[in-house]
Amino acid sequence: SRLRRLAMMLNSSCCPNPLALMDVKGFHPHDVTVTMNDGRVTVSAERKEEHNTCRGKAASYRRFTKQFNLPPCCENEVTCSV
């Protein structure tokens, strides 16, 4: 099976181009969180997987965080999509 590529895009109606495009490959949409505080956007994702193997338990942990400041005109009109 093919690996699915997951991208998150942040847009604003006052800016003609996307504000940000992030590759969050390896995360499910419900693992991704977007918050905005004082004109700063934080995109974070966290995923922990545990499974049993013939040698015992195995675990993997992934974390992604990206922060950036919004242009002043765009603070009130930001949308995100996955």
Cβ atoms within 10 Å, residue 68: 13
Total domain count, the chain = 1
Provide the pLDDT confidence category of residue 13 given band limits of 50, 70 and 90.
low
Flag whether 2 is in a domain.
no
> 17 pLDDT band (50/70/90 cuts)?
low
Give the range of the structural domain holding residue 51, as residue numbers without chain letter: 29-69
Q: Is residue 64 part of a domain?
A: yes
pLDDT recorded at residue 46: 92
pTM of the model: 0.66
Whether 15 is in a domain gets the answer: no
Indicate whether 35 belongs to any domain: yes
At residue 2 the predicted structure's pLDDT band, cuts being 50, 70 and 90, is very low
What is the structure's pLDDT at 16?
65
> Considering the domain boundaries, does residue 57 fall inside one?
yes
Token readout for 75 is: 């603070």
Domain with 62 in it: what CATH number? 2.60.40.790
Flag whether 41 is in a domain. Answer: yes
Token pair recorded at residue 10: 């942040």
Is 14 within the bounds of a domain? no
The answer to whether position 60 is within a domain reads: yes
